[in-house]
Amino acid sequence: MNHSRYNIYTLIHKGLRASLCQNLVDLGKLDDTDAEAVAHQLEITGSLLNFCRDHLEHENNFIHPVIQSPDKNPLQTIDDHYEHETVIDELQHKIALIKNLHSTDRTKALESFYGSFSLFVAENFTHMRVEETHNVELLWKYFSDEEIHSIEQKLVASLTPEENLRCLLMILPNITHMERTTFLQGFRHAAPADVFNGTLAMLKPLLTGKDWLKLTTGLHLDLQTPTTA
């Protein structure tokens, strides 16, 4: 595997893995006797499932076609996406049912949902690794890094501002210091100053104090004054 080439999957998959793991942990320790806590967590998990569905759609629209066209061989991940969409529907249906259950029936339903969600997480991890190794090799075979960046930019341009922000806040706390600094250096030059500053403000509480200090040092930020693009 050529680690000097650009891997379009790396950052978003780090964000997805972190979010899926956190949701799985939070579901596993959820107090099923607390109706408010259950409703809150199911909203969070349902929202993540919607994000996963949108992620599949983005890959279907922008990545799979450019690989499939020159390669001609069927992609395993295309079939995976159909299966994942079905599972997402099933999980969302279970969420809707649990929300309407009485407390006496909630415990077993949540335990069952936790098991189903854990299998969804496991399958996604396997699927993402195929994309990061097999699919990316096809991208490298047919496209330059500049062309891969162009594919990614078209995908990002299709996102709503809300989707883009959610992606950023999912990714940025869960990548390495160098990945975070390099990404934000590019973002700083591409985005309006108020968008950059607003993103940093939302990112700060998601980082440790040490990581935040390293980031501000790496970006040469003057924290006493607003950042300018």
pLDDT tens for 58-72 read: 999 999 999 988 877
> Per-residue pLDDT averaged across 81-95, rounded?
98
Query: 115 or 223: whose pLDDT is higher?
Result: 115
Identify the pLDDT of residue 109: 97
Please give the Cα distance from 106 to 102 (Å, whole number): 6
Report domain extents, the chain.
10-159, 176-229
Identify the DSSP state of 33: T
> Per-residue pLDDT averaged across 126-142, rounded?
97
Indicate whether 78 pLDDT > 70: yes
Per residue in 156-200, pLDDT tens? Answer: 999 999 999 999 999 999 999 999 999 999 999 999 999 999 999
Q: Are 114 and 27 in contact (CB under 8 A)?
A: yes
* Cα→Cα distances 202→147, 165, 185, 217, Å: 31, 10, 17, 18
The sign one gets for the Cα dihedral 166, 172, 175, 181 is: positive
**Tokens found for residue 103:** 């407390």
CATH topology of domain 10-159: Four Helix Bundle (Hemerythrin (Met), subunit A) (1.20.120)
Query: 70 or 211: whose pLDDT is higher?
Result: 211
> Per-residue pLDDT averaged across 119-132, rounded?
98
Q: Are 45 and 117 in contact (CB under 8 A)?
A: yes
- Identify the three-state secondary structure at position 15: helix
Identify the DSSP state of 226: -
Contacts of 52-59 spanning 24+ positions with Cβ under 8 A: 52/16, 52/84, 52/88, 52/124, 53/85, 53/88, 54/163, 55/12, 55/16, 56/81, 56/84, 56/85, 58/155, 58/158, 58/159, 59/131
Identify the pLDDT of residue 13: 99
Indicate whether 129 pLDDT > 80: yes
218, with CB counted inside 10 A (0-12, 13-18, 19+), is middle
User: Any residues with CB less than 8 A from the CB of 228 and at least 6 apart, and which?
Assistant: 193
Single-letter residue type at 72 = K
Indicate whether 222 pLDDT > 80: no
**Tokens found for residue 6:** 């650009």
Distance of CA 18 to the CA centre of its chain: 8
Please give the Cα distance from 229 to 47 (Å, whole number): 32
